[in-house]
Structure 1
């Protein structure tokens, strides 16, 4: 009878050992499964990004360039792809103004792009978008001829929005006369000078430049009645204007 407690204790220890062994095996299998799953998820061949859909009104951006950018900067699987990094990479493209990126189960990526709308060439080597923000992008002569005609604006750093708004205000006055601004110069002292498509240069000064331009538009028919070609018109007067005529050699 004295051996019974010892036997029960032994059986209890055996059951405990078996339970512990089973638990350790279960934990080992679970850890193995997690490792294998992680390897599978990170394996591009197992879960690649198969479909990249780019949407938005695009003129200067090629969908293929965005796809190549994503595959170059995010070479991993669909599950490993970092949406925030992809978003930053797409928005860093010169012609992208804003972008949104989201995953689409099970292997797709949706990208919506708001493109920069070029409004002017800035200081000969940059572009201004529709909001007067400068961005560094290249635009070919073919694009200018077939898609859009851009004026050349020049001015000191930080005056981009001022120059673009001034251009828009002046161009709205000139449209009734079939004229448009080819080049606009805004000096360090914020004096306005423009050159029109007919070759006439206008000196508008620093203040009341819109009113002065209106004076030019009103007097233009009278000026053009002269049998000489206009070189420049100086409008920096409270009333009236001064006209510079091209020489015979220059006119020819």
Structure 2
């Protein structure tokens, strides 16, 4: 019995030592597994980053994904499509994916003869552009054109036979509205407006295609133009050609003849 009591502590010590060794080995295995997992995760992340970089480079490489076709549509006569395509390719030299549609839109709409435009991409290599061309209705101060809304744009050297309108800056819409009203009234005759001038004080003067100049003043210019239409058959019967007619009178007109003699005639 005494001997058995002495052997029991020795067995317990061996068991504790074996348990400690097993625990240490398990901890080492867990660490190895953890670091292996971390290394694998880092490898996967690195692969994804490299793949993303390569994919991005591929998609933005003009040689791999070029914009091969710029397809223009719409009705236009004066827009230089060749020049416009050259400008687009110079401003957007990248690939199909790198091309910025908003930048192309702004570039296209900044061209003088483009009134409106729409731009979109079409997979895999096409840029589609729909154009609405400016409509020129009159020349403005010799160096610009007016569209039907009174907006000015550059003619880019295009020669067109149009009525000539003159006036101070900012009066484009007023001048065009006045011209349209006068033109509609003159359409009832065989006469047409060749030139219209609006002074700094907004007084109207009209040059007709037959050479007669009309001074309409600032107010009631439509009524005064109608007065000229009414009196013109009488003036046309005269032997002398009419040079100008001043209509700034309440009840009559002043007529200038080609020999520079002026006479007053009641309307």
For each residue in 1:114-149, what CA deviation from the matched residue of structure 2 results, as whole angstroms up to 9, or x when unmatched? 2211111111111111100122232433xx2xxxx3
Q: How far, CA to CA, are the matches of 1:109 and 1:25 in structure 2?
A: 39
Segments of structure 1 that go 5 or more residues without pairing to the other structure are: none
Q: Give runs of ≥4 in structure 1 deviating > 6 Å.
A: none
Question: Does residue 44 of the first structure (1) align with residue 62 of the second (2)?
Answer: yes
Q: For 2:113, which of 95, 98, 101 is the aligned residue?
A: 95
Q: How far, CA to CA, are the matches of 2:97 and 2:158 in structure 1?
A: 39
Question: Does residue 19 of the first structure (1) align with residue 37 of the second (2)?
Answer: yes
Q: How far, CA to CA, are the matches of 2:68 and 2:50 in structure 1?
A: 28
Q: How far, CA to CA, are the matches of 1:191 and 1:78 in structure 2?
A: 55
Written as runs of structure 1 = structure 2, the 5 A alignment for 1:69-148 is 69-141=87-159, 144=160
Q: How far, CA to CA, are the matches of 2:137 and 2:189 in structure 1?
A: 21
Equivalenced residues, count: 242
What SS does the aligned partner of 2:252 have? Answer: coil
| Alignment TM-score, normalising by the size of structure 1 | 0.91
Q: How far, CA to CA, are the matches of 1:32 and 1:173 in structure 2?
A: 74
What's the counterpart of residue 177 of structure 1?
189
Question: Does residue 204 of the first structure (1) align with residue 216 of the second (2)?
Answer: yes
What SS does the aligned partner of 2:188 have? Answer: helix
Q: How far, CA to CA, are the matches of 2:30 and 2:120 in structure 1?
A: 56
Moved more, 169-178 or 155-164: 169-178
Q: For 2:236, which of 217, 224, 232 is the aligned residue?
A: 224
For each residue in 1:38-58, what CA deviation from the matched residue of structure 2 results, as whole angstroms up to 9, or x when unmatched? 111111011111221222221
Q: How far, CA to CA, are the matches of 1:235 and 1:139 in structure 2?
A: 37
Q: How far, CA to CA, are the matches of 1:35 and 1:109 in structure 2?
A: 25
What SS does the aligned partner of 1:22 have? Answer: helix
What's the counterpart of residue 11 of structure 2?
none
Moved more, 70-79 or 173-182: 173-182
Q: How far, CA to CA, are the matches of 1:150 and 1:121 in structure 2?
A: 6
Q: For 2:52, which of 31, 34, 49 is the aligned residue?
A: 34
What SS does the aligned partner of 1:232 have? Answer: strand
Moved more, 195-204 or 106-115: 106-115
What's the counterpart of residue 162 of structure 2?
150
Q: For 1:58, which of 76, 87, 96 is the aligned residue?
A: 76
Cα deviation, residue 92, structure 1: 1.0
